[in-house]
Each structure stands twice: as C-alpha cells, then as structure tokens.
Amino acid sequence: MWLQIALMRIVIPVLIGSILYWQVYILHSFEDMQAGWIGATVMLIPVLMIFEIDRRVTRYFQRQVEHTGGFWQAVLVPFLVSLLISLLVVFAMYIPAKLWEINNGARDIIGLFHIVSIGSEIFFMVVIANAIHQLRFLIKKWQEEAIRSANLEKENVQAKLAILTQQISPHFLFNNFNTLYGLIEQHPKDAKEYLMKLSSLYRNVLLKRNEELIPLSEEVETLKDYIFLLQVRFGSDIQVKIDLGVMDTSYFIPPMSLQMLVENAIKHNRFDEDHPLLIAIERDGDHLKVTNHSRLGVETQTSSNGIGLENIRNRYQLLADRPIKVDRDEYHFSVEVPLLQIVENVA
C-alpha cells in the first residue's frame, strides 16, 4: 500500500517534473536559467503541488459522484477546479521567485510570454495529473464492480444449487417409502433390514446435501447402499455393474448424481423378470458413463417432474459449465457426465 502511495504521489510527479525541467531548460537560453538543484527544485515543487491538488480535488468530486452519478461532475468540474487552484498557487510562487531572480541579476522580465508559457505548462500538467487520477479511479471502480459481480454470481450459484439440492431428498424418499410400505405388509423381516439401509442411506444424503461436490469414491459407496435397496425392491429384474478401475481420489462429482442416474434408468425403461434391466457404470478418463439396456425397450412417454436428469444437468452447468451427454435409441439409454477436479486458488 505504501509503495502505491509513494508511486502516485512522489515518483510519477518527480519523473514528470524532471522531464519538464529539462524541456524548459533546453528551450530557453542556457544562460537565462540557473542549472542545478535550485532550478530542479523550482520546477519539482510546483509539479508535486499540482499533483496533490488534483488528487484531492478529484477525490472529493469522485465521492460526490458516487451519490449523484453525474458524468460532468466526475470529469470536467474537478479538472477545471484543479486547473484554477493550480494556476493561483503556482503563480503565487512563480512571481515572487522570478522577482527575486531579477533582483539578483538575472537577465529576464515578467511579461506576457512568461505568463502564457507557465500557464500552458500548468494546463498540461493538470491534464496529465487529472488523467492519471481519473484512470486510477476508474480502475478502482472496475475492480470493486468485478468483486461485487463475482460475489453476486457466487451467491446466485449457491442459491440455485441449494434449490436444486432440496429437490433430491423428497424425490428419493417418496419412491422408497412406497417400497417400504409394500414390504411391511408382505415381508416384515425384509422391511426391517430395508428400513435400516434406507435410514443409513438417507443419513448420508443429509450429511452431503449441502456439499457442492464430493469424492467419487464416497459417491460410489453411497450408490452401493442404494443398489441394495433396489435389489430388495426389484430383485433380479435389475442388474447393476460397476467398473471404475483404479479409484482416482482427485475426481469429484455432485452428490447423489449416480443414484439419480440409476433411478433415471429405472424410470425410463421397461423390464421384468424375464427381461432384466442391465445398468453399467464405467469410467472413461475424466468422464463417467451410465448405460442401461433393456430388451423391452426404452420408455418414450414417461411422466416426469423434471427432477432427475434435469437436476444433474443444471448442477453441472452451475458448478463447471460443462454439459452432460445423453444418448438414446430404442433399447439403450446412456448418460455421460464429467468427473470434476478441484483446483485450489493460488494467491
């Protein structure tokens, strides 16, 4: 912070003042100006003052503009005020200094040429100072707006993710409660084990529902519990094969995605004991593919409330802006989803 302050208030004005000093020194006769630190100081002090005057004036009007929003008040008015104050201050210094030089033998006079020359130099100096300070203000406002937009976008994404995640649990519960109700009447012992597995699975859902991403290994373990419930519910009518090779711990996936894809396969296919539904879950590089095959064919008209597949598509769009791929024909239905990796921000 102090380095930025030194750069804006000292280094840049001194550099510009030094250039101006040598410009004036060369344009005038060498014998008409006193070289050395006295001449440089005479030039640098007004430059530093002009920059400081413009900085304070511009900052004052910029604060006013934050409330009124007027363009001319932000640009033209601070420039004119800075120019007026700078002219008064510099000439209040220049005229006594020039009179002192004349009284000490300098071959010079205070004439119209000097007034116009010094006035033009002050004008261009104020232009430079004002441009620098206005640019700094615009950059600062742009950075603030970028941060504000990023925060709003983050809040928006989190809000949408929360809404989408809220849809998963009721959808998951209603289907399994129906199965549990049937088991209680027909197979009370199986119902007890089913309820324990359902309770364990739902506990995982509650623990992970606020997570945007979870490790693929955890998602697979949750899926295995869900497959147990399916086997109780459908028996051998559904067969699920998981082949992910060596589990890569760097891959992440939105929670409950695999469960919803398997559920989506069940919802969109016809199957029975003689024609089971075959579901294969395979990993291909940084993608996961869930494919189902049914010899009875894919349901072309299945009532849907838009929760399952659409939920996964929306979550991937919000999290990584990466699409999922859906492929279907008469007997096959497959969904391919990206496996995500978390990249830590390095400051």
Rounded CA separation 4/303 (Å): 63
Domains of the chain plus CATH, in order, are 2-148 (no CATH), 188-338 (3.30.565.10)
H runs (alpha helix) in the chain: 2-6, 12-27, 37-68, 71-74, 76-103, 112-186, 188-208, 216-234, 257-267, 308-319
The first and second tokens of residue 116, run together, are 């116009």
| CA atoms within 13 Å, Cβ hemisphere of 98 | 16
126 touches 54 (CB < 8 A): yes
Q: What is the pLDDT of residue 43?
A: 64
| CA atoms within 13 Å, Cβ hemisphere of 273 | 2
Q: What is the pLDDT of residue 247?
A: 75
Q: Are strands 332-338 and 287-293 parallel, antiparallel or unpaired?
A: antiparallel
Residue 164 amino acid letter: L
Question: What is the model's pTM?
Answer: 0.54
Rounded CA separation 194/238 (Å): 17
Q: What is the pLDDT of residue 318?
A: 80
Rounded CA separation 249/95 (Å): 77
Q: What is the pLDDT of residue 163?
A: 61
Rounded CA separation 295/275 (Å): 6
pLDDT in tens, the chain (347 residues): 555 555 555 656 666 666 665 555 555 544 444 444 455 555 677 777 888 888 888 888 877 765 555 666 677 888 888 889 888 887 887 777 777 767 776 666 676 777 777 787 778 888 888 887 788 787 887 888 888 777 667 766 765 666 666 666 666 677 778 888 888 888 788 888 888 888 888 888 778 777 888 999 889 988 888 888 888 878 888 889 998 887 778 899 988 888 888 888 887 788 888 888 899 999 988 899 999 887 776 665 444 444 678 888 888 888 887 889 988 887 788 899 999 987 664 44
| DSSP codes, 109-159 | ---HHHHHHHHHHHHHHHHHHHHHHHHHHHHHHHHHHHHHHHHHHHHHHHH
Rg (CA), the chain: 38
